[in-house]
C-alpha cells in the first residue's frame, strides 16, 4: 500500500469563483477534507467551499484549542498550539499511511501566514505533499479598493498588527505601499501608528474582501473600534507612472 | 447601444491550472482579447492562454515601443510609454464604445506592478471596468521553493531591483521575509546588496515559477549573471512557530 498525498489547497480570499482551476478540481473530487476552525464555528475555509464537496466526503475539522484567550507572549500559548498541531499531524498521518489522500483547506495562500504551514513542517518529510498557491487575502483587499497597490519602484511592506507600536510606526513611515494584516484587537495601536507615520488619512479598511458582505471604507471614517479577523488595511503606493 | 465592459483579468504566475475559475471562464468566452507584448515576441500573457481562446476570437496585441533600450531615468522613456498607453486606450475605447467587451490579459495580479494599471487609470471613468485578482508571481515563486514565506509576526518587504543599491541594502537588512522583483540587468547590484545586508546565502532565485521550465536555485549557486525578466528572488522569514 502506497502513501496518500496531503494537499495544502489555497482557496483564495473568499469568493469561490476566485479559487484556482486546480483548487476547484481538488476540492470537488476530495474524499477527505481537513480544515482548521475556531471551536463552535463552521470555519471560514469550510464556508468558502460550501456546496462544492462530494456527498460522501469525510470532513475533518481541526479546532484550535486557543485563539485569543491566552496572550501570544504566554509560553502556554505556544505549548497548547504545539500539542494541537501534533494531534492534527497524527490524525492526518494515519489517513495518509492507509493510502488516503487528504485535502487541507487553506484560506488565502497556504505559505503566506497560514496555519497549514504548521502541518507542512511536521508532515513534509513523512508523506508526499503538494501545495497549491492561491490569491492572497491582500490581493482581494487591494482589488476591492479599486486602485492599484504598487507602481514602478514602489516598496510594498506587509505588517502584522501584532507588532509593537514602535515597529509598526517606523515601518509604516518608511514604506510606499502598505498592507496590515492580523488586525483584531490591535486596531487602536494600528490607528495610532498610522497617524504618527502620517499615513492615517490614506488608509483603507477592507473587511471580508471578495465575499458577499465585503465592505471598503477609509479607515478614518470607521468609528467602530472592533474589526473582525477578516480585515486588512491598505495604503496604496504612488510611484512612477507614465 | 450600451458600452462594453473592459476586464483586467489576472492570469496568475504562468500555469493555466492556477488561473481562477472566473479568469478561466472569461478567457474561454472572450470575443476580444488584448494583451501587452514586446515587439517580435508572442507575449507572455498570450502564451499562458494558448489553446484556451475561442476559434473566432479577435486578438489585439499591444506592443511596447521601448522596454530596456532607453534608461528609465531618460524623459523620453516616459514620453514614449505615455503616448503608447494613450494609443492603446483609444483603440480599446473604440471597441467599448461600440458595445463590445474586451478582456485584457494580465500576467500575475493586475493591480500589483502590472501594465494594465496604465489602461485602468485612463479608462476607469469612461467605461465599465472590472478587475479580476490573481495569484501573484511571488506566490508562485515562494511555493516553488517548498518553504513558507512568512511566519507569525514576520515583516514581508517587496522590492523592485530597479531601486538604488543603497535603498536595496537598507531595506533588505531590515526585513524578515524578502521578495525582489524586476531583476533583469539589476542582478549584480542586487547580489551586492544582499551580501552587504547579510542575506545572500539565504536567497533563492526562482525562474519561470509554476511554468514547464521552472527552475529553483540558491542564488549563490547560480553563476550566470543574466537572469530573464521572469525571475524572482525570495528570502524566507523565520518567525514564530509553535
At A239 the pLDDT is 85
Q: B155 — contact with chain A (CB < 8 Å)?
A: yes
Interface of A with B in 37-56 (CB under 8 A): none
| pLDDT digits 0-9 by tens, A147-174 | 999 999 999 999 999 999 999 999 999 9
pLDDT at A91 over 80: yes
**For the residues B87-95, what does the mean pLDDT come to?**
97
Nearest to A117 among B12, B132, B148 (CB): B148
Biggest CA–CA distance in chain A, Å, is 61
Nearest to A112 among B78, B132, B139 (CB): B139
**For the residues A176-193, what does the mean pLDDT come to?**
95
pLDDT at A224 over 90: no
Most confident of A211-225, B55-69, B138-152: B138-152
Chain B residues with CB inside 8 Å of A114's CB? 148
Report CB contact under 8 Å: A20, B17.
Answer: yes
| pLDDT digits 0-9 by tens, B198-241 | 999 999 999 999 999 999 999 999 987 666 668 999 999 998 77
- 3-class DSSP assignment, residue A112: strand
Interface of A with B in 78-97 (CB under 8 A): 78-79, 81-82, 84-85
**Contact predicate A157/A178, CB 8 Å:** yes
Q: B237 — contact with chain A (CB < 8 Å)?
A: no
| pLDDT digits 0-9 by tens, B24-73 | 999 999 999 999 999 889 999 999 999 999 999 999 999 998 766 677 77
Give which of A159, A136, A137, A162 is closest to A68, Cα–Cα. A162
- Residue ranges per domain, chain B? 6-132, 137-235
Long-range contacts of A211-214 (CB under 8 A, 24+ apart): A211/A13, A211/A14, A211/A15, A214/A144
Q: What is the distance in angstroms between the Cα of B88 and the nearest Cα belonging to chain A?
A: 13
Number of H helices, E strands in chain A: 7, 10
**For the residues B120-143, what does the mean pLDDT come to?**
97
Chain A residues with CB inside 8 Å of B78's CB? 240, 242
At A158 the pLDDT is 98
Cα separation, B103 vs B33, in Å, equals 5
| Test the B interface: residue of A75, A77, A158 with most B CBs within 10 Å | A158
Chain A residues with CB inside 8 Å of B149's CB? 111-112
Give which of A14, A98, A20, A18 is closest to A58, Cα–Cα. A98
Give which of B140, B156, B117, B126 is closest to B238, Cα–Cα. B156
pLDDT > 90: percent of chain A: 83
**Contact predicate A169/A45, CB 8 Å:** no
Q: What is the distance in angstroms between the Cα of B140 and the nearest Cα belonging to chain A?
A: 6
| pLDDT digits 0-9 by tens, A52-85 | 999 999 999 999 987 666 777 778 888 888 999 9
pTM of the model: 0.95
Q: Which residue has the cell 486557543?
A: A66
Report CB contact under 8 Å: A20, B22.
Answer: no
Whole-angstrom CA distances from B160 to B11, B15, B127, B182 are: 21, 23, 31, 5
**For the residues A97-118, what does the mean pLDDT come to?**
96
Distance linking the first and last C-alpha atoms of chain A: 60
Cα separation, B209 vs A205, in Å, equals 31
At B226 the pLDDT is 65
Q: What is the distance in angstroms between the Cα of B64 and the nearest Cα belonging to chain A?
A: 13
Highest CATH level, class, for A6-132: alpha beta
Sign for the CA dihedral angle at A81, A206, B13, B4 comes to positive
pLDDT at B99 over 70: yes
Give the list of residues 6+ apart from residue B174 with CB closer than 8 angstroms, or none.
A171, B155, B157
Chain B residues with CB inside 8 Å of A140's CB? 133
Q: What is the DSSP string of B138-169?
A: HHHHHHHHTS-SB-TT--EEEEETTS-HHHHH
Q: B147 — contact with chain A (CB < 8 Å)?
A: yes
pLDDT at A126 over 80: yes
Whole-angstrom CA distances from B2 to A75, A81, B100, B101 are: 62, 56, 9, 11
Report CB contact under 8 Å: A131, B143.
Answer: yes
At B40 the pLDDT is 87
Complex ipTM tops 0.85: yes
Whole-angstrom CA distances from A151 to A154, B94, B100 are: 6, 27, 29
Chain B residues with CB inside 8 Å of A167's CB? 155
Q: What is the DSSP string of A47-104?
A: HHTTTTS-TTPEEEEEEES-SSSS-TTSHHHHHHHHHHHHHHHHHHHHHHHTT--EEE
How many Cβ pairs closer than 8 A exist between chain A and B? 178
Cα separation, B226 vs B209, in Å, equals 17
- CATH annotation of B137-235: 3.30.950.10
Distance linking the first and last C-alpha atoms of chain B: 60
Distance, C-alpha A126 to centroid of its chain: 25
Amino acid at each position: 500500500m502506497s502513501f496518500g498525498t496531503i494537499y495544502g489547497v489555497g482557496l483564495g480570499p473568499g469568493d469561490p469563483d476566485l479559487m484556482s482551476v486546480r483548487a476547484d478540481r481538488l476540492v470537488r473530487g476530495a474524499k477527505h477534507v481537513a480544515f482548521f476552525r475556531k471551536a463552535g464555528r463552521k470555519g471560514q475555509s469550510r464556508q468558502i467551499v460550501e456546496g462544492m464537496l462530494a456527498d460522501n466526503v469525510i470532513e475533518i475539522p481541526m479546532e484550535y484549542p486557543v485563539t485569543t484567550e491566552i496572550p501570544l507572549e504566554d509560553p502556554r500559548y505556544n505549548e497548547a498550539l504545539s500539542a494541537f498541531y501534533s494531534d492534527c499531524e497524527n490524525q492526518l498521518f494515519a489517513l495518509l499511511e492507509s493510502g488516503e489522500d487528504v485535502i487541507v483547506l487553506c484560506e488565502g495562500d497556504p505559505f503566506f501566514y497560514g496555519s497549514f504551514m504548521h502541518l507542512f513542517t511536521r508532515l513534509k518529510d513523512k508523506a508526499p505533499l503538494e501545495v497549491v498557491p492561491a490569491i492572497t487575502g491582500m490581493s482581494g483587499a487591494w482589488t476591492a479598493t479599486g486602485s492599484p497597490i504598487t507602481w514602478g519602484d514602489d516598496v510594498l511592506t506587509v505588517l502584522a498588527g501584532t507588532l509593537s507600536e514602535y515597529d509598526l510606526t517606523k515601518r509604516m513611515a518608511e514604506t510606499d505601499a502598505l498592507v496590515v494584516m492580523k488586525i483584531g484587537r490591535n486596531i487602536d495601536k494600528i490607528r495610532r501608528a498610522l497617524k504618527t507615520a502620517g499615513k492615517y488619512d490614506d488608509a483603507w479598511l477592507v473587511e471580508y474582501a471578495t465575499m458577499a458582505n465585503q465592505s471598503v471604507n477609509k479607515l478614518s471614517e470607521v468609528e467602530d473600534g472592533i474589526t473582525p479577523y477578516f480585515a486588512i488595511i491598505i495604503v496604496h503606493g504612488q510611484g512612477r507612472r507614465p
